[in-house]
Structure 1
Amino acid sequence: MSKRNVALFGATLVSIIYGLTFTIAKDVMPKHIDAYGFILLRVSGAMLLFWFCGLFVSKEKIALNDFPRIIVAAFFGVAFNMLTFFKGLSLTSPISASVIMVTTPMIVLVLSAIIMKERMRKRMVIGILLGLIGTAFLILYGKSIGSGSNTTLGNFLVLVNAISYGFYLIIVKKLMEKYNAFTFVKWIYLFGFLMVLPFGWSQFEVVNWAIVPITIYWKIGFVVVISTFVTYLLNLLTMKELKPTTVAVFIYLQPLFATIFAIGLGKDDLSLVKIISAILIFVGVYMVTQKPSKERYKP
């Protein structure tokens, strides 16, 4: 099997894992542990794994003037990103959360245009408007099985998480060009752990672990080890072998897998609101991320 095929398989596997994570994480919280306590578990577990693996990777020193960027990346990529995502997921449904996450590529391009002062084409503006309409429609009307009065807040928090992750991708780009991934990611997770500790400790402390079912322990382990650590390694593989545009396409598979798992396990339903919202978001993201035909076919 060629390296490209291995990378394509890895990218598909990442989408399947993320699709599963929406439902698995929802099973854990808020019934057994609240969102912030779960985040503390996830970040601390991943941090220990990254630092352990870092022992076997070539040693690099990080320049002191790069630490402010690492701290900001830790805030947007670990602390604020994960706190808003898990809190949002605890209030909304797996399908709604996965559809909103598809807006990430669109958000990255919008933030890049604002920060780097890039010119926005008419097609991109229309795509952004469609995506915003679809997202707003889902946030306001995307009720689901077992949804409470906080579904709107949950969907909004998932959107905030996607925006935060968009900032992270822009901030971390220079670090990826300068260092081995393990060199800076272990620091990002260390600073991220310190940031989530004040929020998650009280929720972690009150959990009666003696009455938590074994299946929930396995699900927590899946999120910490597979959804965080393993997917990061797989993403490194895919980014090394595939073009960024190819990797970006795989984010579209996440709502598909999330929907299959959530409906198959009876955790969610597929309503007309979700279908219409998903179509608007998908079309919007496609219009924003596609290059003009002249650029695509330039020799």
Structure 2
Amino acid sequence: MLVNYWSALHVSIYRLICISLFLGIIGFPIIRKARIRPKQWLLLCIAAILGVSINHLSFFKSLETTSPITAAYILALTPIITGIINGIVRGERKSCLFWLGSIISFIGVGFIISAKQGASIQFGIGEFFSFCTMLSFAIFLVMLDVLRKELDSFTITFFTSFLGCIALLPFLFFAQVPVKQVAELPIILLLIISAILVHGVSNLVWNAKQHEVGSTNAAILLNLEPIITMILSMIILQAIIQSNHIIGGVLVLVGIVISVIVNDKVLPQKVLKANYNFNE
């Protein structure tokens, strides 16, 4: 809805300004007391550029040429990519059940994308930007695990949002404002409120709790987003839900159940049994 009134760049910057102001106001005492070392500043800058600047811009850029449903399902690849990055960078090892659930979700992604172009899976410019959104966020999740060891969640959320906004501002001076629909008050309020809730409050909660479960395990729950997106697109945007969308949605849900619920119930039993045999 927002990209019908502003360009992807303008939407990204306007939202990041709203987020930075909101977090700056409610958390000024925490921000003022923050003690950040040079190495942490470097990590914050990299995380801000990848997880905020590139992530926001590519996301809204993708919505200019692809549907919200397709974009959301491409983001369902985040758990797989996050697990691969954690395995390469941090040596993290996940169970076969986790990978099985992630692969099933990946198959669901294939079904939903094929619904747009027909029987074959094709990637256009919109899908490319959606993939960039997913990849940048996966790297951002891994960096959050590293930053959260030394910095509190509010400091991370504020400075990544603020630095990400600063990184995009220079491009605003060279970008022409496209002639689109005139934004009335309800659309402006939608821009502000959605920014504060979606990338302000929710990011703050996410950054505060991710370290308790790890970036890879947290990423698998992001696969609930396409299901909700599909339902809201049908209700608000009157989007047509095809059979491939439904099949993909079911596969994504099955993947989450296997990776999170079944995995958590089976593995602890194996560990306990192994410990018991060892003690004997």
- TM-score normalised to structure 2 length: 0.78
The structure-2 alpha-carbon separation of the partners of 1:230 and 1:207, relative to structure 1 and needing over 3 Å to count, comes to farther
Query: Which of the residues 185, 199, 219 maps onto 1:214?
Result: 185
May I ask how many residue pairs the two structures share in their alignment? 265
Q: Report the Cα distance in structure 1 between the residues aligned to 2:84 and 2:255, rounded to whole angstroms.
A: 12
Instruction: State the match for 1:171 in structure 2.
Output: 143
Q: CA deviation at 1:34?
A: 0.9
Instruction: State the match for 2:235 in structure 1.
Output: 264
Residues 136-194 of structure 1: per-residue CA shift (max 9 Å, x gap) = 443354259xxxxx984323322321221111011121221211222233222232112
8 A contact 2:144–2:207 mirrored in 1: no
Query: Any idea what SS the aligned residue of 2:30 has?
Result: coil
Q: CA deviation at 1:195?
A: 2.0
8 A contact 2:97–2:263 mirrored in 1: no
Larger RCO (CA within 8 A; separation ≥ 6):
1
Query: Which of the residues 34, 41, 51 maps onto 1:77?
Result: 51
The structure-2 alpha-carbon separation of the partners of 1:62 and 1:233, relative to structure 1 and needing over 3 Å to count, comes to same
Instruction: State the match for 1:296 in structure 2.
Output: 268
8 A contact 1:70–1:184 mirrored in 2: yes
Rg larger for: 2
Query: Any idea what SS the aligned residue of 1:177 has?
Result: coil
Q: Percent identity at matched positions? A: 22
8 A contact 1:102–1:282 mirrored in 2: no
Q: Report the Cα distance in structure 2 between the residues aligned to 1:32 and 1:246, rounded to whole angstroms.
A: 36
Residues 188-209 of structure 1: per-residue CA shift (max 9 Å, x gap) = 2232112222444445x62679
Q: CA deviation at 1:281?
A: 4.0
Q: CA deviation at 1:63?
A: 0.8
8 A contact 1:95–1:258 mirrored in 2: yes
Q: Report the Cα distance in structure 2 between the residues aligned to 1:186 and 1:53, rounded to whole angstroms.
A: 10
8 A contact 1:108–1:167 mirrored in 2: yes
Of 282-291 and 268-277, more deviation after overlay is shown by 282-291
Q: Report the Cα distance in structure 2 between the residues aligned to 1:82 and 1:34, rounded to whole angstroms.
A: 12
Q: CA deviation at 1:284?
A: 4.4
Instruction: State the match for 1:43 in structure 2.
Output: 16
- TM-score normalised to structure 1 length: 0.73
Instruction: State the match for 1:23 in structure 2.
Output: none
Residues 203-255 of structure 1: per-residue CA shift (max 9 Å, x gap) = 5x626799422221111112222222122344356x28985699667534433
Q: Report the Cα distance in structure 1 between the residues aligned to 2:75 and 2:15, rounded to whole angstroms.
A: 19
The structure-2 alpha-carbon separation of the partners of 1:125 and 1:249, relative to structure 1 and needing over 3 Å to count, comes to closer
Query: Any idea what SS the aligned residue of 1:91 has?
Result: coil
Structure 1: give runs of 5+ residues left out of the alignment.
Answer: 1-26, 145-149
Q: Report the Cα distance in structure 2 between the residues aligned to 1:182 and 1:202, rounded to whole angstroms.
A: 32
Give me the CA root mean square deviation.
3.4
The structure-2 alpha-carbon separation of the partners of 1:262 and 1:188, relative to structure 1 and needing over 3 Å to count, comes to same
